Amino acid sequence: MIFPCILSGGIGSRLWPLSRKDRPKQFLPLFDGESLFQKTCKRVSAEDFANPIIIGGNTHRFLMGEQMAEIGVEADTILLEPVGRNTAPPALMAALIAFEKDPDALILLLPSDHLIGKEEVFLSAVGNAQDAAQNGQIVTFGITPTTPNTGYGYIQLEPGDEAVRKVSAFVEKPDLARAQEFLKGGAHVWNAGIFLFSAQTMIEAFKLHQPALFENISALMATRHSDLDFTRLDEDKFAQLESISIDYAIMEKANNVVCAPMAPDWDDLGSWSAIWSVLDKDREGNSALGDARFLNCKECLAYADRRLVSVIGLENVMVIATTDSVLVAHKDQAQDVKKVVEQLEAEGRSETERHPRSYRPWGYSERINSGDRFAVQSMMIKPGKRLSLQSHLHRAEHWVVVSGTLEITINDEVSLLTENQSAYVPLGAQHTLHNPGRIPVRMIEVQSGTYLQEDDIVRHS
């Protein structure tokens, strides 16, 4: 069996303001109502594959679990990273997990945020590479280039037409002139960051090329422990790991690396211009996500999050409007969105960190308005879900039920609220919410007090 290892870390800052730290691009349902993470999980859920090993950030643990449940995919392991450490540590972690289950296991290491239009081509390439991986080769998958793209690393292949070919060299992101030479010469492919190898081969590669990192990760994996459906590791030991990519750690040092070139209509969707390139377009080349209108525009992109966006008289422009931020940029400068994010982070702006809508295991809350001594948010509580018992030191709350039936507990007094009914929670009162019904509860919460930040919370259970 092949164990897929899906890497779901990363922030996708070039897709700001939609992609943010608390809900990055791989979890956004942009494509047919599914996220890239979900599409990746489904892509490797055929009978040739074992249940996937998911490695991702601790802050996204419930997103990963819920999105897998939505598509009916069960994980072998969901391993939580306290901090990001690039791709080399996860490659060895996956190898050690799979080796425990099957010493002959193969691992397909792949990112969670890539779009593949021709999945049958991708799966065929994986099948054609299995023999090489079983025979001790580390297979990397290269994408046949269609443009002289300067945003990707390249792999130079030795001559031949085999399904799996030897690698001559790994090449850093080139300038335009060199990328044009690569496209014309036909000996180079884009480095997709997708790998197939046996668990034993990767373990031996780390022992040979990264012995210190191997010892540190082996010791770290001995600290594994379960937490609900997740697997956690010692945070201090994890933080001490070297942050290094599998390319630098292993691929550029090993002599058993081969490449399987393929053309599966692949895109890593690393920018808004890349998103535009894969969307349906009108006769003038305009693409819309959400409620958007174009007048006298050509090759524009508009994203509208629960609001109307109108674009007039522009060409090659992107307009991305969320409920709290708007981005307007020329498509040719889509890569520079990351610079804006870096500037906002330096200013301490929360718009790079959190979406107005914050997802929780019980549902979500969404900021509506705030000001001096007040904040208003809407909330949705899923059927059967309950919030923790808590109190606040600096604020009181008012609850108004919009729909559904809500069971509330305030200082041990339990009661039910239905549509258009409300309750008051005094400052310092212990309280919790529970949805005992079969439909979601939708409600409005009004907070008032001297301090209204999220850290004003005392949990009692």
What digits encode the pLDDT tens for the residues 332-353? 999 899 999 999 999 999 899 8
What pLDDT is stored for residue 140 in this prediction?
95
Q: Which pLDDT score, from 0 to 100, does residue 391 have? A: 95
Residue entry with tokens 């409920």? 323
Cα 187 to Cα 128: distance, rounded to the nearest angstrom: 20
Quick one: tokens of 238?
A: 């994890």
Q: Are 117 and 266 in contact (CB under 8 A)?
A: yes
Strands 257-262 and 287-289: unpaired
Is 357-459 assigned to CATH 2.40.10.10? no
Residues 349-379: tens digit of each pLDDT: 989 988 888 888 899 999 999 999 999 999 9
The pLDDT confidence band at residue 160, using thresholds 50, 70 and 90, is confident
The per-residue pLDDT for range 123-152, each reduced to its tens digit, is: 999 999 999 999 999 999 999 999 898 888
Distance linking the first and last C-alpha atoms of the chain: 42
- 406 within 8 A of 370, measured Cβ to Cβ: no
Give the per-residue pLDDT at 314. Answer: 98
Number of helices (H), then strands (E), belonging to the chain: the values are 11, 30
Q: Which residue has the higher pLDDT, 455 or 321?
A: 321
- The mean per-residue pLDDT over the stretch 45-51 comes to 90
CA dist 157 and 375 (Å) reads 59
The residue among 94, 414, 130, 106 whose CA lies nearest residue 246 is 94
* Lowest model confidence (mean pLDDT) among 24-33, 231-240, 276-285, 440-449: 24-33
- What is the C-alpha to C-alpha distance for residues 292 and 307, in angstroms, rounded to an integer? 8
pLDDT greater than 90 at residue 228: no
DSSP 8-state symbol, 331: G
CA atoms of 19 and 23, how far apart (whole Å) = 6
236: pLDDT strictly greater than 80: yes
Instruction: Judge whether residue 268 has pLDDT over 90.
Output: no
Q: What is the pLDDT of residue 281?
A: 96
Q: Which residues contact 318 (CB under 8 A, 6 or more apart)?
A: 272, 273, 276, 300, 301, 302, 327, 328, 329, 330, 331, 334
Q: Alpha-carbon distance 421 to 414, whole Å?
A: 15
CA distance 392 to 431: 9
| Arithmetic mean of pLDDT, 277-289 | 95
pLDDT band at 306 (very low <50, low <70, confident <90, very high): confident
278-289 as b/e, with b when 16 or more CB fall inside 10 Å?
eeeeeeeebbbb
- pLDDT value, residue 450: 93
Global pTM exceeds 0.85? yes
Task: Catalogue the long-range contacts made by 365-370 (C-beta closer than 8 Å, 24 or more residues apart).
Answer: 365/445, 367/324, 368/444, 370/452
Strand (E) positions, 151-218? 154-157, 165-171, 188-198
**Which pLDDT score, from 0 to 100, does residue 376 have?**
96
Query: Domain coordinates of the chain in residue numbers?
Result: 2-267, 272-343, 357-459
Average pLDDT over every residue of 319-338:
94
What percent of the chain shows pLDDT beyond 70? 100
Tokens at residue 355, please?
């979406």
Spatial separation of the C-alpha atoms in residues 408 and 330, rounded to whole Å? 50
Q: In this structure, what token pair is assigned to residue 158?
A: 């030795």
User: In this model, does residue 12 exceed pLDDT 90?
Assistant: no
Position 51 scores a pLDDT of: 95
CB atoms within 10 A of CB 135: 11
The mean predicted confidence, pLDDT, of the chain is 93
Domain 2-267 belongs in CATH node 3.90.550.10? yes
**Phi, psi for 86 (deg, rounded to 5):** 65, -160
Question: Alpha-carbon distance 139 to 116, whole Å?
Answer: 19
